[in-house]
Amino acid sequence: MSRLPGIPRVALSWLLVAQVLVILPHLLHLPLWISLLWLAAAVWRVRIFRMRAGYPGAWIKGGLLLLVLAGIFLSRGTLVGLDAAVLLLIATFTLKLLEMRSRRDALVVVFLGFFCVVTGYLFEDGLLAALYSLLPVTALLAALIGLQSASLLERPWPTLRLAGGMLLQALPLMLMLFLLFPRIGPLWSLPMPGNQGVTGLSDSMDPADIAQLSRSPELVFRASFDGQPPAREQLYWRALTLEHFDGRRWSRGARGESPRTADWQQRGERLDYSIVMQPSGKPWLFALDVAELALDDARMMEDFRWQLRRPVERTLLYQAHSWPQAVRGIKVDSASLQRALALPREGDPRSRVWAAELQARHSNPDELVAALLQHFNREPYVYTLNPQPLGRDSIDDFLFNTRRGFCAHYAGAMTFVLRAAGIPARVVAGYQGGEFNPAGNYFQIRQFDAHAWVEYWQPGSGWRSVDPTFQVAPQRIENGSQEALAGEEGFLGDQPFSPLRYRELAWLNQLRLSWDGLNYGWQRWVLGYQGDQQLRLLNGWFGTLDWQRLALLITGVMTLSLGVLALWLLKPWRHRADLLGRLWQGFERQMARHGVQRLPGEGARSFARRAALALPQQAQLIEAFADCFEQQRYASAPASPRALRRALRELRRALPWRVRH
C-alpha cells in the first residue's frame, strides 16, 4: 500500500461527522461550552486543511487545556469523579482535532471516539441508545478505513459501505462472545452520572417528598409474574421502613440496619416474579411482602426490606418469590416495640387526646385500627397533590383542620395516632400498583406510583399492613395514580410532552406500550444477561458446564465462526479458473492433441507463437485466438467470453480430424 500523504480528505470528513454523532447524545448532560468548543475546533481544523490557518502552538494548546479544566471545575464542582472524567474525555476528543498532523494522530482521535461512544452507556443504556451508537461507530470505522486505504481516498460513500459491511461481518462473532464469554462483574463501583438529579425515594419522608415524586414519570422498575399476575390493589412494593418521627419527618431507625434475621413464616400461595430495576444510586431493592430474592450480595433486614451491599448503579435483574399471607414478626423484642411506640415529647396535643379516646373505646388493636380507617372513610378528607401548608403541629393541623393530603399525610397521621394509643406502628414507603403492559405481560412502576402505608403490631399476629389512603381514595389503589390524579394540576406538571399525558389517544398509547415492551425485552435479555442467567441458558443448551468445558466451547465456537466468516470473505471456490481461464485450458488441450504441449512457465503469447509454427495452416486462427484472449484477460474493458468462445470454436473446426502423433 502506498504511503498516504497527511490526513486524507475523506478520513477528515468522516472524522468530523463521527464527532458530531458522538457528542450529540451527550448534549442533554454536557454544558453548552463543549458544543461551542467542538464547533470552534472543527472550523479551525477545516481551515488548516485548506491551508488558510496554521496549527496552534504549544502556548495556545496549553491555554486551551487550562480553560477546559477550569470549565469542568465550574460545571461539575470537581475534577475528580466519573462525570468530570467523561467531560474531560469528550473535551480532549474535541481538542485533538487541532494537533492532528499525521495518520498516527488521526488514529488516536478515532480510538478516543470509540471510548466516548462507550461512555454514552453510563447515561442511557436503552434500546434506542444502543441502536443510535451504531451510527458513530460506523462513521469512526469509515474514518479509519479512509486513513488506511489508498484506493478510497476520494470516495466517501464506498468507504461508508465498507464500514457497514465490516460491522455486519463482526456481528456473528459479537453474538457468540456475548452468549458464551463469562460475565465479569465490575472491578470497582463508582456513582453513575446518569443517576444525579433523578428524584426517588430517600431514607426519610416528608409528605411533600412523595407528592413531589408524583410529578415525575421516571421509570423505577418493571415486574413480570410467572402465571397470572395479582390484582393491582395487591401490589405493595416495599422499599423502606420508617419508624423515627421528629415532629415533621419520618426516617429510618437503627433497627432497619440490624443484621439479625427477620422473623417470619411462610403462609399461603407463593408468587414468583422477576424485576428489572433501573439504576437508583440507592442500595435498597423492591419486592412484595414477604420476599426471598435470588441475589448473592443482597440480604433481608430485620424490618423485612431487602438491601444490597452497594448502591444500584446499573440496570439490575433479579428473581423474587413472595408470600403475601406470610406471618411477620410474631416474636419481637421489647426494645424494638419501644422504638415502634416512640413519639416526640411534645406536639400535636389534639391527636394525642383523640388517640386516648380511641384507646378507651377500643381495647382490641384491630378494632381501633378499623375505627381509624372508618374515620378516614366517612369524614370529608380529600386526596390531593396540592394540600394546604401545615402548621407547627402538623398531625393536628392535617387531621382536624385541612383534611387534604397525599398518601404520606394519611400514613404518617395514622401511625402517630396508633402509637399515641399504645399500638406499635411504623410507616412503610415504596410503590403501589403500576401500569400493566399487555404487550409484554408485565407491570411498569414509575416515580408517580410512590406510596406510603402503615404497619402495626399486635401479640400473636405480628406485623399487619393497612392503607388509610384506600379509605379516602380507593381509585388510587385500584386504578393507579394516573387515574386518581389525572385532573390534578401538579400531576406530571413538569412533563408537558410526556406520552403518559395523552393516554386517551389509543394509537399513541399503544405505540408507547409497544416501544416500552421492546425496551423491557432489551433490558431483561441483553442488559440483564448476567452470570446466573447465562449459566442457566448454557446449562440448558449444553448440560452442566465447568470452566474447562466452557473454555473449550468458547474456543470451538469462535474457531467455527471465524472459519465460516473466512470462507464467506475469501470465497475460495471463486479462485478456481474462471470462464476465460477454462477457454484457454480448452485451447491448450486442443494443441496438446496435435502434439504441441505448453511448457512450464511459458507465457500465453509464446505458447501461441510456437503452436502457430507447428500448425502453419491454422496459424492465423491460433494468433487470432491468442489476441482475443489477451484483450479479454488483460485489457481494462469488461471481459466478453463470447468472442473468445467463438474464436476457439472456429479454430477447433479448422484443426484436422486426424491427430498427429
Q: How many CB atoms lie within 10 A of CB 401?
A: 13
* Nine cell digits for residue 216: 415525575
> Would you call 407 a catalytic residue per the annotation?
yes
Residues 618 and 92: their CA atoms lie apart, in Å, by 75
- The CA distance from 446 to 451, in Å, is 11
Tell me the H-state helices in 497-578.
Answer: 506-522, 531-542, 547-570
The torsion region of residue 208 among left (phi > 0), alpha (psi -120 to 50) and beta comes to alpha
Is 116 marked active-site? no
Cα 294 to Cα 101, 220, 318, 406, distances in angstroms: 55, 20, 6, 34
Q: Which of 26, 116, 209, 407 is catalytic?
A: 407
Name 53's Cβ contacts closer than 8 Å, sequence gap at least 6: 44, 47
Q: Quick check: helix, strand or coil at residue 508?
A: helix
Give me the residue label for grid cell 409484554: 440
Q: How far apart are CA 574 and CA 571, in angstroms?
A: 6
Reply yes or no on whether 296 is catalytic: no
Q: Which member of 83, 396, 449, 451 is catalytic?
A: 451
Question: Letter for the amino acid at 68?
Answer: V
Dist. CA 146–CA 15, nearest whole Å: 10
Choose the catalytic residue: 348, 467, 516, 628.
467
The two beta strands, 450-458 and 462-466, are antiparallel
DSSP type of residue 229: P
Q: How far apart are CA 260 and CA 272, in angstroms?
A: 25
Would you give the distance in Å from CA 496 to the centre of its chain?
Answer: 25
Which residue intervals of 184-223 are DSSP H helices?
207-213
Q: Counting Cβ atoms within 10 Å, is residue 575 exposed (0-12), middle (13-18) or buried (19+)?
A: exposed
Q: Which amino acids are annotated catalytic?
A: 407, 451, 467
